Amino acid sequence: MSFPAIAKVFGTGLVLISVVGRLQGARSQTSIGVSKLAHVLYCLNTQQPDGYKPPHFRTHAYRLRYVYGKFSEGDEDDELHMLVYGPREKTATFYEVYLEAENGSPEIDVATQTTTFKKQQGRLLVVGDIPGGYQDYRRIRRLLVVIARRPAIRIVDGVVRPGPESCPPWR
């Protein structure tokens, strides 16, 4: 094989590695401990106005699924995309939460984009408006498909308490 042919093969391989690396980087997700998730729920309960607080799945328990990290272009590394379910998973509220302040200090900052869903015919459908319009709706629909595949996490009220991160007021 001649040098140009070898260079062509390796060049194609490098392009493929580069593309795969970018795709994986766009969906780099990691896990979060239950104590951190419980603290996020604490912040949502204490800082969100009525009507935006996370619903209970059972009398003293929450049920949630999440994706943490970059999911799509424009997401931050510290971004938590979380779906908190109501009773029998018939309703859910979607939250986007940042787990670090811009200056790098530990903080739980809730984005103002809270969306509620209601299950009809086996699918979660939007109730009301999605801030950000149709483009945001498409992004959230893709997120819901991924989040729905994640295992559900049950968190009881007893562990929902303050943690080391601050909870700035809802804006």
pTM: 0.75
Q: Are 98 and 111 in contact (CB under 8 A)?
A: yes
- Burial class, 37, CB count within 10 angstroms (exposed 0-12 / middle 13-18 / buried 19+): buried
Full pLDDT tens readout for the chain, 171 residues: 454 444 444 443 333 232 233 333 344 467 889 999 999 999 999 888 787 889 999 999 999 999 998 777 777 788 899 999 999 999 999 898 888 766 777 788 887 667 888 888 877 777 766 767 777 788 888 888 899 899 999 999 999 998 888 887 755
Helix (H, G, I), strand (E, B) or coil at 25: helix
- Do residues 126 and 115 lie in contact, with contact meaning Cβ atoms separated by under 8 Å? yes
Element (H, E) at 5: helix 3-26
The pLDDT value given to residue 171: 55
Q: What is the DSSP letter of 29?
A: B
* Spatial separation of the C-alpha atoms in residues 14 and 65, rounded to whole Å: 36
User: Which residues make Cβ contacts (< 8 Å) with residue 119, sequence separation at least 6?
Assistant: 89, 90, 91, 92, 125
User: What is the C-alpha to C-alpha distance for residues 47 and 14, in angstroms, rounded to an integer?
Assistant: 48
